Chain A
Amino acid sequence: MIKVEHLVKQYGEFRAVDDLSFTVEKGEILGFLGPNGAGKSTTMNMITGYNSATEGDVTINGFNVYDEPEKAKRCIGYLPEIPPVYPDMRVKEYLRFCTELKEIPKKQRAAEVDRVMELLHVTHMQNKLIKHLSKGYRQRVGLAQALVGNPEVLILDEPTVGLDPMQITWMRELIRSLGKEHTIILSSHILFEVNAVCDRVLIINHGKKIVIDTPDNIIRTLGGTSGVRIAVRASEEDFRAAVATLPNIARVEVLPENVGEGITTYGVYSSDGAELRDRLFALCAARGFVLYELNSIQKTLEDVFIEMTGKGDTV
């Protein structure tokens, strides 16, 4: 559906996007993740044909964005970082203009405007000037614009930025439901959001691809050693000595959590990824340590992200 091949964007000496390749399948939601200035917006501007690529190709639905721009652009709805709205237009008037711009047949225009207004809940604002709308509503009108003509591909650049928590939840729901019929690329620097909404995640830093996979796989394969959080009534000496008898323990650390008097919380990590909980349970039972809490430490996408983009920075 969307095929990006060896995409490069060069500004003088600076490579904003460096040899980026990936594909997005039909009906998939791809989360596009990276710290600020990683090249997310630049990449999106190239995918939508707003800017040209220095090298490389983008194919949408089989149409090359640079060779057949009109056909490719017809398949794309784009919500840039700043919603591209005219402050001096009324909501309905603006969306009407969008239907004309996107060459929707004349007879379907009114219905199309109504449809997108309904979908984004802006129908009651239709006669307001866009400059009088709040940031959240402006964002909605911007997304309504992207949905005009029901394009197969949606490119959304940080669609939840500037929304209040209620609107964010609502927007995520909407994007998820849109994902059933559309192919979506969604950029964000909020990891939770990407984790909640996307089928696959592409992490980039300094314009380079770091990884592309499902959120779970990223956490699993790049999460490193698996760990267990355990709270026991035992002195640090006794506990460390006892754990040392177990095989393949990478390290033991004291976690700064206060469960109760005389109870200490430890993080125990295995070096081979083996399940530690049954061993630790048996160990505590054998040594007579009273067990208060035992659970595995879940690495979040956030940890992985910080780990990987952080590594990129030190290089």
Chain B
Amino acid sequence: MNRRDLLKAAAAAGALNLAWPLAVGLTPAQAREAAEALGADYDPAPFTLGVASGDPQPHSVLLWTRLAPEPLAAEQQLPEIVEVQWTVAEDPRLSRVVARGTTSASATLGHSVHVAVDGLRPGRHYWYAFRALGKTSRTGRTKTAPTGRIGKAVFATANCQAFHDGYYAAHRGIARENLDFVIHLGDYIYEHGQVGGVPESHVRDHDGPEILTLGDYRKRHALYKGDRSLREAHAAHPWFLTWDDHEVVNDYSGTGGGAPFMKRRAAAYQAWYEHMPHRDSFGSMALPDPEIHRVRSWGELLELTVLDLRSYRSAQNLPDGTILGEDQKAWLKQGIDQAPDAWHVWANSIMLSQLRGRPGGSYMFTDQWDGFLAERKEVLGHVHASGLEDLVVLTGDWHSAFVDDIQVDFDQPESPLVGTEFTAHSVTSGAYSADWNAANGPLMGKANPHLKYFEGNRYGYDVYEVTPERFSTHMRVIGDRRDPLSPVSTLTTFHVDRGKTGSYEDPGTKGSPAQYRRD
């Protein structure tokens, strides 16, 4: 019986009332059993949530795990401090050990483990595992950043993975790609309560009402990691991370909230840190305000700038509003001034390009950069004035694929082009209907002369193949998000040539389905 049939059978038998949604009042063990009965699974305890690595640098990578024998419990029945051993080796069997050590997992941080391993060699794969409480974790694979001139880099982005909207076949695909690294662009979890409608309109559901407390956010992260494909993708590649709004709450601004919201935000940020391979040891602040923005290099080929568009933003639509915050904006502009000759990639959670819904119409969403017009013009004007070339912006949030060529001033047809933005399909989070996409794709194309392409009927992830001469974006799509094993195919490919502004679609895939394509 496949999972969909199982869900239907369970629904017919009335079992879903107990199993999905995960009824409030279940013990953590019962909730886990209910989740597992309908498709979720976990690694063996205590490493139920798997392993991960992140923030790869030439000599260092951050390793992560969390001890969670009962993943759906707010607090673990463990000693207050648990000793955790870690091993890094040059081979999958962990026989050629290059680094090992011991660290502490504290209940105050959800028994999460973050280890910054140093002394590694650039551009190399390494394998790693943890040991605690007499058990050994699965073995993860990671890679350090190369140095010097390199001929190629291949990486992926993922974004928007609403648990209830589908299985993570996209992450299964990412795990199987031959990648240097992965960037998550945000909306890793969703904060809202149960959506219902399982199994006809949703394959699974959240484990309770809207999340507010640290315990709530911990359980939600653990629920999402109950999809084995997500754990596989983490274990297969190092990740860079940014976030969007749903890691806390829809459309929030990081500043200006009252005490109850600030308490909620701190809980959400802490839980995010506890569940992510995030390096937080170099900044000027401290938890529970992790510092996300950073610049990293992949050899001399690629400079990656990770942006945080949530922590420091003001309210939308203010004349002097900010999406970056003053300090991050100054840091970004300084980085632009000092940028080396390389591809410049910005990990940008939410759409940078202007997007009007119809000719003469208003902006679609002002939660994105369209709500921060003066700052966008200032930043893009600075890009142009500084002479920065080869800028590619990678974006999530929209649940649909867009390709935009970026102008300093989108309302001025003659305004200079300064780069290209690729907005990727979501992993699972629901897009507009096919009818909406068919009707509105052409309207958006007409209203936004910089928009090259729109496709909103599919789900997946993007893979980027970067050489000194060309930046290529392959839009990987899955066949059916209701199928955890759904196969992956390439819908289309866009290229940007080095030293030239503007993108173009690969002639070999130009006939692929889309709801708008500027010919």
* Pairing of A with B: no
A contact set with B: CB distance below 8 Å:
none
